[in-house]
Each structure stands twice: as structure tokens, then as C-alpha cells.
Amino acid sequence: MSQVKIFDTTLRDGEQALPASLSAREKLQIALTLERLGVDIIEAGFPVSSPGDFASVQQIAQQLKTSIPCGLSRAVAADIDACGQALQVAERFRIHTFIATSDIHVNAKLRKSQDDVVEMAVAAIKHAKQYTNDVEFSCEDAGRTHIDYLCRMVESAITAGATTVNIPDTVGYTIPSEFGGIIQTLFNRVPNIDKATISVHCHNDLGLAVANSLSAVEHGARQVECTINGIGERAGNCSLEEIVMALKTRYALLGLDTNIDTQEITRASRLVSQLCNMPVQANKAIVGANAFSHSSGIHQDGVLKAQNTYEIMTPESVGLNKNTLNMTSRSGRHVIKHRLHELGYQDSDYDLDTLYASFLRLADKKGQVFDYDLEALLFFDQQRQ
Ligand code: KIV
Ligand code: ZN
């Protein structure tokens, strides 16, 4: 099995997009939940950004036992020093430094030459190496960076000592074939590429963050950066639960795996949703309220006969107790019978045809029928007999 490292940036890229910051205590609670989930690297914050963020990164670094704490820094010495100082309480830690590489960012934002940007990146990586051997370098807006320059930057970063090189699609612009092609070209053209782990960090502006990350993995990337529930700037980041379950469900056969304990996914999703005050849409893959619920009678009949007729992964595998069969006017008799059985009733306690007719009348009026409705119908029909 080849491991794909999971780098979680809920506390940095995710948190920076929230209307209100999380408290230090909430950040620690999320970090410990991510560690329990089995995340390899936790980006805990951007220490130079505020004294509060510095203290929170430091506290998280102190508490983590198995996950590697990481802090973000621009490619400038003061940022890197703040990262090093906040993180050095931990035995092992990572400094993540970045600079933009696309023409639009280099010319309009940084207002520097391409040579200057390479020089800044190399100096930043060397500076970070004074604190730790574990240095990650990101080429911001790599998805829109000229491929020749990207190859040059990646090669220079590895020569300077970066042990992980991250290729972000910062604005979620690329499509899977193109993004996979960028990763493939790096593997073909950068001579020292095998000396570093290639990472990807995809944003979701076109809803392609997970697809782009998977395409990158197919072409050799072995770290994926992601957030719980996909929270992050604008349309968010690659969602941890989706990339992990896609790898587990479809890529295990290709020999790819992660260290994530997937049964912890639901717990982590709910915690992040609550603390960040970001509800999860009902039809969100893996963690939405409807992700394991079935409504049509045909589907309900199918899953009662064999769960995998309409479920490609089990609810238990993501930490849910079981699936849900919604009782609506589309439900058949078998679902009513199944539900009453689960509620402790025997077949002899009711007449299924009579009860089903009452059920349909109620469902047409009410939409969803709940357990207490079903029991009320059953008692009412019993009294009429
Ligand atoms: O989206 C991005 O490019 C980033 C970098 C700082 C990695 O978040
Ligand atoms: Zn980002």
C-alpha cells in the first residue's frame, strides 16, 4: 500500500474564511479531534498574523502527540521566525512557507521579477531549515502558473531543502485532466522531484477540488491538503471526508491508502459545523443529513434486501449507526413493516393493508411520517377493529 498523507488546514485556510474567529479553546478541541481522526499533519494557524494565533498554534503544538503540527508563513524571515518560535515546543513540527508563482500574482501582487521570487523562495526555505528539517513550500496559484516556471520553482525549492512541495490550485480554476497533467509534467521534468513529497491543495470554485486532488494523486501526488466539511476561502477547499472516502472506496484497489480512521469522520464533521457555525448542506456527500437516507420506495426495498444495492459505502464506515429510511408517500409496505418491527411490534399487532392505506393518506397530507405518527395510526386502526 502507498500512503497518501492527509494535511488538514481547517484551522488555517478553513478558519480564515469564517465570519468570526474560533477561540483558542475551540481550535484546540478541533485539533485534538483531527488527531483522533488520524490526520498526518495539522496546519494549526498563521502565527505571525496575531498574538492570539501565535498562542493558539503554540498550545496545539504542545498538546499533539501523533499528528505533526504545522504553521503557515509567507516567504519572509519574520513570518518564519514566528512559526519556528510558536512550534518549537513540539518535538516534531513543520514550517509551511509560500510565495505566489503565477504571472498575475508575481506582476500585480508581488510586483517582482520571476528571478526575485525564486530567490525569495530559496532564502525562505533555507531560513526555515534552521528551525526544522520538515519544511513545506507552496507555489501559490500554481494552477495558473506557466509550467516552465513552475518546474524551475519546484526544482529550486527541493534543492534549497523543501521536503514537501505543494502545488495549490489557489483559485479553483483547473479541471482534473489539466491538473493531473501539471503533476505529471513535474514528475517528468523536475530532476530532483523524488527527494520531496508532492502535495496538492485545491480550492472548490468550480466544485472540482476533490476531483482535481484525485487526479493529482493518480499522477503521483502523495499528500492532499483539505478541510473538514470543505470549509475555506470562497467556495472552500477540498473536503477531507470526500477525498478520504473516495480513496478508501475506489483507490484501495490501486494500492492507495490513508491513515484516517474513517469511523471518526461524522464526529469531526459535526464538531466543526457546530463550532464554526457552518451548517452542512443536507445532500453533502459523506456527512450531509441525506447522505445515507433513502426516500423512494424502490430504493428502500433494495437496501432492505441488500444494503449495497443503493449504498456504495456503509454508514458505519463513517461513524453513523445506520442508514435512514424516510417514511413518505413513496415508501412501500415493506418499509412500514420493517420500521414497526424495529419499534418492537409483531406482524400480528396490525393489519398491514389497513395500516398502509391510513399511512398513505397521512403521508400525502404531511410529507414525512415519523415513528410517533406511525404508532398513532396503528393504535387508531386497532381501536376501529
Ligand atoms: O490556496 C492557497 O494557495 C493557499 C496557500 C497558502 C497554500 O492556501
Ligand atoms: Zn488555500
Residue of minimum CA distance from atom 2 in ligand 1 = 170
Distance 16 CA to ligand 2 centre (A): 10
pTM: 0.95
Q: Is the CB of 301 within 6 Å of ligand 1? A: no
Please, what is the end-to-end C-alpha distance for the chain in angstroms? Answer: 63
Residue 225 CA, closest ligand 1 atom number: 7
Residue nearest to atom 7 of ligand 1 (CA): 138
Give residue 309's pLDDT band: very low, low, confident or very high (50, 70, 90).
very high
Tell me, rounded to whole angstroms, the distance of Cα 41 from its chain centroid.
Answer: 13
pLDDT tens digits, residue range 215-239? Answer: 999 999 999 999 999 999 999 999 9
140 lines ligand 1 (CB under 6 A): yes
Residues in binding site: 13, 201, 203, 237
pLDDT digits (tens, 9 = 90+) for 122-153: 999 999 999 999 999 999 999 999 999 999 99
Ligand 2 geometric centre to CA of 109 (Å): 16
Q: Could you identify the atom of ligand 1 that is nearest to the CA of residue 140? A: 3
Best CA proximity match to 1, nearest among 222, 240, 164, 199? 222
Q: Which atom of ligand 1 is nearest to the CA of 141?
A: 3
Provide φ and ψ at 22, rounded to 5°: -80, 155
CA–centroid distance, 93 to ligand 2, in Å, is 20
As for the ipTM of the complex, it is 0.99
Binding residues for Mn(2+): 13, 201, 203, 237
385 has a pLDDT exceeding 80: no
What's the 141 CA to ligand 2 centre distance in angstroms? 9
- Residue 53's pLDDT band (boundaries 50, 70, 90)? very high
Q: How far is the CA of 140 from the centre of ligand 1 (A)?
A: 6
For 262-304, the pLDDT digits (tens) are 999 999 999 999 999 999 999 999 999 999 999 999 999 999 9
Q: How far is CA 351 from CA 248, 289, 343, in A?
A: 44, 32, 16
Contact yes or no for 339/325 (Cβ under 8 A): yes
pLDDT at 383 (0 to 100):
83
Pick the ligand that lies closest to the CA of residue 226.
Answer: 2
